[in-house]
Amino acid sequence: MRRCAFTLIELLVVIAIIAVLIALLLPAVQVAREAARRVQSTNNLKQMGLALHNYESVHGCFPGSGGQSSSGFSVLARLLPFMEGSNLVNSMNFSLPLGSGPPTFVFNAAQTTASQTVVQAFLCPSDGQTPFYPSYYQQSPTAGTCYVVNVGSGTGTFYDPRYPTDGVFWDNSATRFAHVVDGTSNTMFMSQCVLGLGQDTAGATPTQQLRQIVNYATKVSPAKAAPGGYNPPMNNPDLAAVVPPSWSGGRGVAWIVGTEAMSGFNAYLPPNSKTPDVYGHGFGWLGARGLHPGGVLTLTGDGAVRFVKDSVDLATWRALATRAGGEVVSAAAY
């Protein structure tokens, strides 16, 4: 009896066709997955936008960042009671300081459970970095954030949130809707950051530039000078003029902490800038960055979430960061 079977050539043709189909399918699957991740990230920001509005309704102002020191509670921490995070809120005590220091910051025992709890609503699903840091921040366990609040344009002295800035949030700020003169639909309240590496390295080349920023602290005096920072002030970090003494992996590693490096951003650099972030002692030129291709998600004061492209005009981007700059920003511009 004669047996029917594929010839070797026919088998190779079938395999080749299957390979082509897989090659065509995989990019479509990846695009669909990224679209789903972007939707989830958008929903996270919308949830925080609603919490900001509810907070303002109850307290008459938006939450401030920091506290008695620059290591006070973050805006994110203060939003938790309005984000269905009752179990986590019950583990915190806002009547007590977040921690003690300087010179060495130590978490208050009443806040340690919360500080090391991973909050999924604070994480962008596209990031991929492990959000738990066992001993990086002040040798204490912490959980990170991918969402940061708008400190301001970052121009002039507005990179220093220890003083009032042209943005929405700074240390002990109490901004109200009435202060957002440019209009809530034209003012960013929040955007994204990429989780830090959780590792510091020395030298001109970082281990992962995406997840490390230039630590400029050793190049400036810690003396406080008003307004806007150190005396002498930090230098403008525009391109290769900054020779990094070290690279920090600390961006966004502690959602509970109110320093700019942990939970804030400014618009000095455009979204996902090729120029690395530069900071010293917790603040500096810290931009909006994310893992969604082509731009970052932003939350405006009216609760809308918009995707701003990396190619946005820098003046427009900075205008979106000011609450009362008097700029006229068209949605078509970004």
What is residue 65's DSSP assignment? B
**C-alpha–C-alpha distance, residues 247 and 82, integer Å:** 36
Beta strand pairing call for 278-280 and 213-215: parallel
pLDDT band at 136; cut points 50, 70, 90: very high
Describe the strand order of the beta sheet including 278-280 as a list of residue ranges. Answer: 201-202, 246-248, 213-215, 278-280, 283-285
Residues in Cβ contact with 308 at an 8 Å cutoff, skipping those fewer than 6 apart: 191, 271, 288, 295, 296, 297, 298, 317, 320, 334
Look at residue 283 in the predicted model and tell me its pLDDT: 84
Average pLDDT for 120-147: 95
Look at residue 215 in the predicted model and tell me its pLDDT: 83
- 27-36, 74-83, 107-116: lowest mean pLDDT where? 27-36
Look at residue 282 in the predicted model and tell me its pLDDT: 82
Look at residue 6 in the predicted model and tell me its pLDDT: 63
Q: Torsions phi, psi of 283, nearest 5? A: -145, 165
Cα distances (angstroms) measured from residue 260 to each of 160, 169, 276:
8, 10, 15
pLDDT band at 223; cut points 50, 70, 90: very low
pLDDT band at 87; cut points 50, 70, 90: confident
**C-alpha–C-alpha distance, residues 151 and 138, integer Å:** 24
pLDDT band at 229; cut points 50, 70, 90: very low
Mean pLDDT for the chain overall:
85
Average pLDDT for 235-251: 67
Beta strand pairing call for 147-152 and 264-266: parallel
- 64-73, 202-211, 231-240, 243-252: lowest mean pLDDT where? 231-240
Look at residue 181 in the predicted model and tell me its pLDDT: 95
Domain residue spans of the chain: 32-333
Average pLDDT for 19-29: 71
pLDDT band at 3; cut points 50, 70, 90: low
**C-alpha–C-alpha distance, residues 173 and 62, integer Å:** 8
pLDDT at 1 over 60: no
Q: What is the pTM of this model?
A: 0.86
Look at residue 29 in the predicted model and tell me its pLDDT: 60
**C-alpha–C-alpha distance, residues 319 and 321, integer Å:** 5
Look at residue 224 in the predicted model and tell me its pLDDT: 43
- 26-40, 74-88, 221-235: lowest mean pLDDT where? 221-235
- 7-16, 136-145, 173-182: lowest mean pLDDT where? 7-16
At 181-206, the pLDDT tens digits run: 999 999 999 999 999 999 999 887 88
Burial 125-153 (b: 16+ CB within 10 A, else e): bbbebebebeebbeebbbbbbbbbbbbbb
pLDDT band at 11; cut points 50, 70, 90: confident
95 vs 322 pLDDT, higher one: 322
